[in-house]
Amino acid sequence: MPQSPPDPPRPQAGRIPAGPSTEPAEPAGADADTPAIGRRVRALREARGISLSALARLAGVGKATLSGLENGTRNPTLETLYAVTAQLGVPLTSVLSGPAAGPTVRGAAVSATLLEVFEDADATYELYRMRVTPGPGQLSPAHQPGVTEHVTVFAGVLRAGPTDAPLTAAAGGHLRWTSDVPHGYAAVGDEEVAASLLLRYPRPK
């Protein structure tokens, strides 16, 4: 019996000698936890302030389907899940496993990659990796009331915040503001800015 495992170290049973489990062992990170997927979809939808009915209509799926998906009572088809995430403007991967990220979405001088969607007792969060290239600042419209933004700068100097009262931070610095007003991001100087962006959406209701 030829032992086959290819090169990059396979998951291998027993990464921690804990369980008596001889099962094939999970492939680190990704999961098919449908309830969790449903929660992430719902979090994204509510963060965008659109109703279940509206999203179902936009995505071309039945309300029953979307309801079941969000509540984790169904085991959605790829086609279904894709139709929904596409409408939410996020890659399919961002609702599957917690981290693992997806492709990038671009604006004028700003690009942001959604790394993770998660939640605690009273808010949902979207974590982005962000790059701001030198040039005219990027403007964003206001969010719903109560939304706050947290930016941590890794490299370069960033001027960001409400358009009428921007803040500035260099590498290692942190900025925070409530983003229910127009606001923007701009690199100060010639250097490109690398930063993380955390959006906090208070839980509706």
Partner DNA sequence: CGCTGCTGTTCCGTAAACGGAACGATCGGA
Partner DNA sequence: TCCGATCGTTCCGTTTACGGAACAGCAGCG
Tell me which residues in 40-59 interact with DNA (CB under 7 A). 51-54
CB-nearer residue toward its own copies: 169 or 177 = 177
**3-class secondary-structure state, position 88:** helix
Which listed range, 7-15, 71-79, 169-177, 191-199, lies at the site for DNA (CB under 7 A)? 71-79
Considering Cα of 51, then 56, then 57, then 58, what sign does the dihedral take? positive
Contacts of DNA in 144-173 (CB under 7 A): none
CA proximity to 159, closest of 198, 131, 187, 181:
187
- Which residue from 151, 146, 149 is spatially nearest to 203, judged by alpha carbons? 146
82 binds, among its own copies, DNA, none (CB under 5 to 8 A by kind): its own copies
Interface residue with DNA, options 13, 30, 64, 92 (CB under 7 A): 64
Structure tokens belonging to residue 28: 């680190």
Q: What is the DSSP-derived secondary structure letter of residue 137?
A: P
Q: If binding means CB under 7 A, how many residues of this protein chain bind DNA?
A: 21
Q: Decide which of its own copies, DNA, none touches 174; Cβ closer than 5 to 8 Å per partner kind.
A: none
Output the smallest distance, CB 113 to DNA, in A.
27
Closest contact distance (angstroms) between CB of 129 and its own copies is: 10
176 binding DNA? (CB under 7 A): no
Binding partner of residue 104 among DNA, its own copies, none, CB cut-off 5 to 8 Å per kind: its own copies
- Residue 81 φ then ψ, to 5°: -60, -40
Which of DNA, its own copies, none is residue 133 near (CB under 5 to 8 Å by kind)? none
Helix (H, G, I), strand (E, B) or coil at 142: coil
**Whether 199 contacts 132, CB under 8 Å:** no
